[in-house]
């Protein structure tokens, strides 16, 4: 009975999330026209079949504040990146095994808007040999997993960045910037909200170095939560039966590879 009720609620949210304003609809048509022209140009590998649905184009449009030219340019760069970085269409677990072995990313439950809940335990992340490109592949693996779990029509996810136990050994600014690049440039408007919990004082020094690289749209979605307020704050967006048990809820965390 509870699962049926949850499904009905998610369907209502799906309808709401699918709504595109008349103004956005016109701009999306302009984007499609521009992409068709680019496809017809010589030495251009853009395929109309890869363009995706209106919701996908809308995400890029919103990421560029409704500017059709900038949104189209951003989308073209995404198509080119996807072809070269994910040539097989997806990242396999074997390609990112070292990061998966750190068991630091989890996914479980949905918030009140039907967005998948994800958790990152930063205290388990340690710099690995292999370079920043390997870590970016791990980020793509994670994001694609999350997106595959979204209800039809849902576009965003919620992330809880838990810094409990995080210290000098976990500092990896290149990884942070790499993850930001992937999220902001190639998965725009996918992040619904980011809760940062259990942040130690030392993290704020690193945060000051990272902040200039975070775009304004992303900054608006970031919330620092004091330790004493974690459960109460999360319950504003997440029902207790969907909240991870480590924050006082009723669901056990599931590692991203097992989700």
Question: pLDDT, tens digit, for every residue of 107-128?
Answer: 999 999 999 999 999 999 998 8
- Between helices 22-40 and 68-85, what is the axis angle to 10°? 50
Domain count, the chain: 2
CA distance 104 to 256: 8
- Over residues 157-207, the pLDDT tens digits come to 999 999 999 999 999 999 999 999 999 999 999 999 999 999 999 999 999
Domain ends where: 30, 60, 85?
85
> Do 175 and 243 share a domain, yes or no?
yes
The answer to whether residues 72 and 161 belong to one domain is: no
Range of the domain at 210: 93-258
Q: Assess whether 175 and 222 both reside in one domain.
A: yes
Q: What is the pTM for the complete model shown?
A: 0.88
Asked if 79 and 131 sit in the same domain, the reply is no
Regarding whether 64 and 123 lie in a shared domain, the answer is no
Q: Are 140 and 123 in contact (CB under 8 A)?
A: no
Q: Are residues 227 and 104 in the same domain?
A: yes
Mean pLDDT confidence for 55-60: 93
Helices 68-85 and 173-186: crossing angle, nearest 10°? 120
Domain boundary among 59, 85, 111: 85
């Amino acid at each position: 009975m509870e699962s049926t009720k949850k499904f009905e609620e998610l369907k209502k949210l799906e309808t709401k999330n699918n709504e595109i304003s008349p103004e956005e609809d016109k701009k999306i048509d302009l984007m499609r026209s521009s992409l068709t022209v680019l496809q017809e140009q010589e030495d251009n590998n853009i395929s109309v079949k890869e363009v995706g649905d209106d919701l996908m184009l809308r995400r890029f449009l919103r990421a560029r504040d409704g500017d059709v030219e900038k949104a189209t340019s951003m989308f073209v760069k995404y198509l080119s990146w996807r072809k070269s970085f994910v040539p097989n269409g997806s990242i396999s677990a074997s390609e990112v095994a070292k990061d998966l072995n750190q068991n630091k990313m989890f996914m479980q439950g949905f918030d009140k808007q039907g967005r998948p809940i994800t958790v990152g335990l930063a205290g388990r992340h340690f710099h690995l040999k292999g370079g920043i490109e390997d870590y970016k592949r791990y980020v793509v693996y994670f994001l694609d997993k999350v997106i595959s779990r979204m209800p039809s029509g849902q576009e965003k996810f919620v992330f809880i960045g838990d810094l409990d136990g995080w210290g000098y050994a976990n500092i990896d600014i290149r990884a942070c910037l790499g993850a930001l690049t992937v999220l902001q440039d190639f998965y725009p408007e996918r992040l619904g909200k980011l809760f940062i919990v259990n942040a130690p004082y030392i993290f704020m020094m690193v945060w000051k170095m990272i902040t200039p690289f975070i775009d304004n749209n992303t900054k608006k979605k970031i919330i620092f939560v004091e330790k004493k307020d974690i459960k109460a704050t999360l319950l504003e967006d997440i029902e207790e039966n969907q909240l991870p048990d480590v924050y006082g809820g009723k669901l056990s965390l599931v590692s991203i590879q097992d989700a």
